[in-house]
Amino acid sequence: MLPTVQAQIELSRNNPQRSVELLQAAAPFRGCLYPPYVRGEAYLALKQGAAAAAEFQKILDHRGLVRACETAVLAHLGIARAYALQGDTVKARAAYQDFLTLWKDADLDIPVYRAAKAEYAKLQ
């Protein structure tokens, strides 16, 4: 877990490359799959959409492992952003719709929800 925390700190410091490097030491499949999630976020920050999508897909492929974790839902948003970054608006719209459907009962003032709705609207 420590490499994941350190990687998240580096990501918040706008150092995504260091974040990716730190996550090389993290086991790829444990608990809520935080290492792939943070790696995906780091790849998004590096504007590497394909690499980000691959990381978020790891989470989506293991829904049973992450069912009660926040990464289960946030992976849909991450992959939507990755597809948008790659210019694949069809896949991006579908992933945003998945995220927004999963959070249909969410508090409308949650910043990540508001951001997702705004990003989705730009794709329309």
What average pLDDT is seen over the chain?
A: 91
Q: How far apart are CA 4 and CA 95, in angstroms?
A: 25
Q: What is the CATH number of the domain that holds 109?
A: 1.25.40.10
Q: Residue 21 is part of which domain span?
A: 2-123
- Output the pLDDT for position 1: 72
Q: How far apart are CA 36 and CA 56, in angstroms?
A: 7
Q: How far apart are CA 43 and CA 41, in angstroms?
A: 5
Please compute the mean of the pLDDT values over residues 36-65 and round it to a whole number: 94
Q: Considering only residues 75 and 5, tell me which one the structure prediction assigns the higher pLDDT.
A: 75
The number of domains in the chain is 1
Give the residue among 49, 50, 45, 38 at the shortest CA–CA distance from 75: 38
Res. 47: pLDDT tops 80: yes
Give the model's confidence band at 3: pLDDT under 50 very low, under 70 low, under 90 confident, else very high: confident
Please compute the mean of the pLDDT values over residues 79-93 and round it to a whole number: 98
Res. 45: pLDDT tops 90: yes
Q: Considering only residues 28 and 69, tell me which one the structure prediction assigns the higher pLDDT.
A: 69
Q: How far apart are CA 104 and CA 102, in angstroms?
A: 6
Q: How far apart are CA 75 and CA 35, in angstroms?
A: 12
> Residue 92 is encoded by which pair of tokens?
């991006």
Please compute the mean of the pLDDT values over residues 24-38 and round it to a whole number: 75
Res. 26: pLDDT tops 70: no
